[in-house]
Amino acid sequence: MRAAIMDRDLRSLAGLAVIVALRWMPDWLRGLTAFWGDLTYLHQPWRAFDAELLAAGRLPLWNPYLYLGMPQAAAMQDGLYYPGSAPYWIFGFATATAVFQAFHYWLAGALAYLALRSMRLLPAAAFGGAALLSLGGLLLAHEGFLNHLAVLSLSPALVLFFGRPALLGAALAVSFWAGYPTFLVGAVFVAWAVRAAAAPVSAPGVVRQARGWGGAALCAAALCGCLLIPALELLSLSRRASGVDPAEALSLGFSPRDLLLWVSPALVTGFDPAVQWWKCCHLGFVGAACVYLGIVAVGRRAFAWAALLGVVAALVLAGSNSISTWLWFHTPGLRFVRYPGNLAYLAVFPLSVLAAAGLEHSRRRRWLAAAVCVELLVLSWGALPRAPRALLTSAGPLARRLQSELRGHRYLLSPRALETTGGYGVWDWRHRLYGLTNAPLKLRAVGNFGEPLVPRTNFAYLDAVYSAPGAVAAIETLRWADVAALLSPAEGVLWAVSSVSGAAGARLLRAEPPADLGAGPPAGGRAVEVARPREDFLSARGEGAGWLFLAEPLYPGWRLWLKTPLASESACALPAVGPFQKVAVPAGPWEVYWRYQPASFAWGLACTLVAAWLLGAYWYNRLRHAMTP
């Protein structure tokens, strides 16, 4: 009997793999790839930068190409430590993305199926509910957000391992590594809400489960120390330490009319899932009918499910009515959520449970489950734009020109460039150096957009430059930031490239430069050559007493050494002209070395290794006792 049940489950998991292949293989066989939005602006630069440094045998601890320079090891959305990122370390980006997406769409369905089966639902019903989650509009819309997709795919594991702390801790850790902690917090809420709505639990049972979750959370935090501790350091120093401005957050939510999109995009005219992706959450007509049957089937528990879905509806409707807006302003933690529409994911697994419950009570559950798959496959076909795979490997003429002309100096993209939407097709769109796309090309930029956590001093400098009345007024500040080129919109070309003379990565000054950005850079000074053999190491050499000004951000973790003919000793850098730094140097010849060796990463790595050893010892003892006759 047990073997027959396992055989049915394996067939269902294989069936999910088949429908995912039907979703992805046609595009791949035609030589097309996903490229839209964050996939190109953010995720390709993150993954390509990480893969290049890992191939060179070193960890990507510091990224000098973004926002003047910032810690890469602290980037929570990067997915550096996530095991699912392995394809990016082996294949090219287009191939790795196809493998990553196909695996995670299948993983979402497989974990949802196993979670539904753990709730004692029949295989066909669980298959239909899992297909609704895997092929539905919400996961479709997040195909270009690799970190979103990974966390959403893993979220059913929190229900599956709800009462098993050791496995739950591992699931929480992997979900955090996947790269979007905001979704992970919501997934925890959904797991508890689904358990509460599915069946009543006694007070002692709740206390026991809470203790298990507390232990699992501590285990996960320890395992994630290598990322968590540097990330908390960056968060405390970033401009988003206090959260997102509610006025900014409420700009992207649902209207009451948009709730029709939960059924089908055909019910709302003019809807484009590529542009309004946060509203793409369709279940299909068949899937919505199964949800209705599920609400009827759960009987007296329908109120609990309705309350859960009502809370989600109230949150995503923020900005469209006073009640939802009040909730958004006064609910703790929501200030760290970027916008209301992004909370639609909270309803996806509960709706899958209800759909599976509806299929459970239908004698034609197999046919309905098949109809769910067919309808969702049809709705997904051609919904999002595709481009030739070569698009993701093409640098473009602008990047090649900057690589040859900048010679290690920085460039600044005009703020007006971000308002430009015209172009000559997807190739032109790809070549505009939007987002973080400069990083894999080794082009050092002052300003970027898309990275959520930026050191506040770096961002303050960028804000001051962009607030200047014009490029002429900002030229002197740009020179001191080692900016050699300014990119601005122009008729008939990608961007006009204007040269900025006098850029230097370091200067030797007689007078001490001011620490405050508002005081402006000091006059004069002699340029000093800076060597950058690798991303986390640089050096400068010169002669004469004074202050060495370095146009690199002063961030915790940089270690300095001052070498003279008489001695070699550690040195101390001080703030200069906002985010930059200055070092006092003595008379005679000298050399200064900088190496990024963050204590936060060292402590975090030690925490991760100890936690992994303890978890391994736990499972070793469990297996040994299980195998002992």
Res 225: pLDDT: 95
- Are residues 287 and 163 located together in one domain of the fold? yes
- Are residues 429 and 482 located together in one domain of the fold? yes
Q: With 90 as the cut, is the pLDDT of residue 629 above it?
A: no
Predicted confidence band of residue 491 (pLDDT cuts 50, 70, 90): low
Judged by phi (left if over 0) then psi (alpha if -120 to 50, else beta), residue 298 lies in alpha
- Are residues 201 and 334 located together in one domain of the fold? yes
Q: Give the tens place of pLDDT for each residue, 607-619.
A: 999 999 988 888 8
Q: Give the tens place of pLDDT for each residue, 25-47.
A: 888 888 888 888 788 889 999 99
Domain presence at residue 618: no
Give the amino acid at 347: A
Domain presence at residue 244: no
The neighbouring-strand residues paired with 539 are: 531, 593
Predicted confidence band of residue 18 (pLDDT cuts 50, 70, 90): very high
Alpha-carbon gap, residue 358 to 600, rounded angstroms: 50
- Which of 246, 269, 248 is CA-nearest to residue 257? 269
Domain presence at residue 577: yes
- Are residues 266 and 379 located together in one domain of the fold? yes
Alpha-carbon gap, residue 234 to 102, rounded angstroms: 32
> Taking the model in full, what pTM does it have?
0.91
DSSP code string of 286-301: HHHHHHHHHHHHTGGG
DSSP code string of 602-616: HHHHHHHHHHHHHHH
- Integer angstrom CA distances of residue 22 from 25, 94, 376, 615: 6, 18, 11, 39
Domain presence at residue 617: no
Question: Of 358, 384, 410, which residue constitutes the final position of a domain?
Answer: 384
Domain presence at residue 94: yes
- Are residues 286 and 370 located together in one domain of the fold? yes
Q: Domain tally for the chain?
A: 3
Residue 544: CATH number of its domain: 2.60.40
Mean pLDDT of the residues in the chain = 87
Of 120-129, 160-169, 469-478, the range with the lowest mean pLDDT is 469-478
Q: Give the tens place of pLDDT for each residue, 547-564.
A: 999 999 999 999 999 999
Alpha-carbon gap, residue 275 to 212, rounded angstroms: 42
Alpha-carbon gap, residue 95 to 613, rounded angstroms: 34
- Are residues 346 and 330 located together in one domain of the fold? yes
Q: Give the tens place of pLDDT for each residue, 303-360.
A: 999 999 999 999 899 878 888 888 888 777 777 777 888 899 999 999 999 999 999 9
- Are residues 110 and 151 located together in one domain of the fold? yes
**Cα 282 to chain centroid, rounded:** 23
Question: Of 454, 475, 502, which residue constitutes the final position of a domain?
Answer: 502
Give kind and range of the element (H or E) at residue 228: helix 225-237
Residue percentage of the chain with pLDDT more than 90: 49
- Asked whether the beta carbons of 161 and 167 are under 8 A apart, the reply is yes
Q: Give the tens place of pLDDT for each residue, 369-416.
A: 999 999 999 999 888 888 888 888 888 888 999 999 888 899 988 766
Res 40: pLDDT: 86
- Are residues 258 and 361 located together in one domain of the fold? yes
- Are residues 365 and 486 located together in one domain of the fold? no
Domain presence at residue 625: no
Question: Of 449, 467, 502, which residue constitutes the final position of a domain?
Answer: 502
- Asked whether the beta carbons of 356 and 294 are under 8 A apart, the reply is yes
- Tell me the chain's radius of gyration from C-alpha atoms: 27
- Are residues 412 and 465 located together in one domain of the fold? yes
The maximal CA–CA distance of the chain, rounded, in angstroms, is 90
Res 453: pLDDT: 86
Domain ranges, residue 577:
506-597
Which of 472 and 484 is assigned the larger pLDDT?
484
Q: What is the DSSP letter of 32?
A: E
- Are residues 291 and 147 located together in one domain of the fold? yes
Give the amino acid at 409: H
Res 425: pLDDT: 65
Judged by phi (left if over 0) then psi (alpha if -120 to 50, else beta), residue 76 lies in alpha
Domain presence at residue 615: no
Average pLDDT for residues 113-132, to the nearest whole number? 94
Average pLDDT for residues 76-81, to the nearest whole number? 91
Domain presence at residue 352: yes
DSSP code string of 499-547: E-TT--SEEEESSPPPS-GGG-PPS--EEE-EEEEETTEEEEEEESSEE
Give kind and range of the element (H or E) at residue 593: strand 589-596
- Are residues 338 and 440 located together in one domain of the fold? no
